[in-house]
Amino acid sequence: MTEEIIKIKNIGRKYVIGTEVIHALNSVSLSIQKGEFVALMGPSGSGKSTLMNILGCLDTPSQGDYILNGTNVSHMTENQLANIRNKEIGFVFQTFNLLPRSSALDNVALPLIYAGINKKERDERATQALINVGLEHRLHHRPNELSGGQRQRVAVARALINNPSIILADEPTGNLDTKTSIEIMGLLENIHSGGNTIILVTHEEDIAQHAHRIVRMRDGLVEDDSLIKKT
């Protein structure tokens, strides 16, 4: 029996800019099972970025409910959301979001500081995470000493360090060349095969095809939600 890890019901998000009300999301409902690999797609203005921010607990809905791993996070305070993000969600961003003056090891260990883990355990877990993504020879290199692909591998290792419920990858190949993009998607596929739930946000059809399901957004609504037939 599959386990539902994400359930959103009638989610709406509106923004008031001056006298104008913009409805970024309009009563969106969606469920994601534990262990799924889902791609979220849509053109600019479709609502996919707003939905991603809500799924990542970076924003709260104006209406509706968001149940993450059994907890309703729809109306939590910012401090509560920050705690949920650190425990439940691993982020991989297009721009890597690494601290430029810190080593790969320290970048990966950063979430463990917020979790209150002692330095010895932080370093051990961060070292293993970097080994798992093939960077055991780059532990003490800073981001400017790494290639784009290596920086994204550091970001993936950091996303996994707290054993989160979901990995949220926002355009993870957007700044990478084709060869490196394939390598990073292969890494994400390996992580998924290990049982992790992955939500991939992308505008590239070939990247989305690495997922097992594509949710397409348009005008603040889910336009299509379908499984990908693997050959």
**Would you state the pLDDT for residue 94?**
87
Per-residue model confidence (pLDDT) at position 182: 92
How is the chain split into domains, by residue range? 37-46+78-227
Residue 114 has a pLDDT of 83
Q: What is the pLDDT of residue 231?
A: 64
How far apart, in Å, are the Cα atoms of 195 and each of 24, 37, 85?
32, 10, 19
So what's the pLDDT on residue 86? 87
Tokens of residue 219, six digits: 């005008």
What tokens were used for 227? 């499984």
Q: What is the pLDDT along the chain (231 residues), one digit of tens a residue?
A: 569 999 999 999 999 988 999 899 999 999 999 999 999 999 888 999 899 999 999 999 999 999 999 999 998 999 999 999 988 999 998 888 999 999 999 999 999 988 889 999 999 999 999 999 999 999 999 999 999 999 999 999 999 999 898 999 999 998 899 999 999 999 999 999 999 999 999 988 999 999 999 999 999 999 999 998 876
Q: How far apart are CA 226 and CA 211, in angstroms?
A: 11
- 122-125 LR contacts (CB < 8 Å, sep 24+): 125/161
Superfamily holding 37-46+78-227: P-loop containing nucleotide triphosphate hydrolases (3.40.50.300)
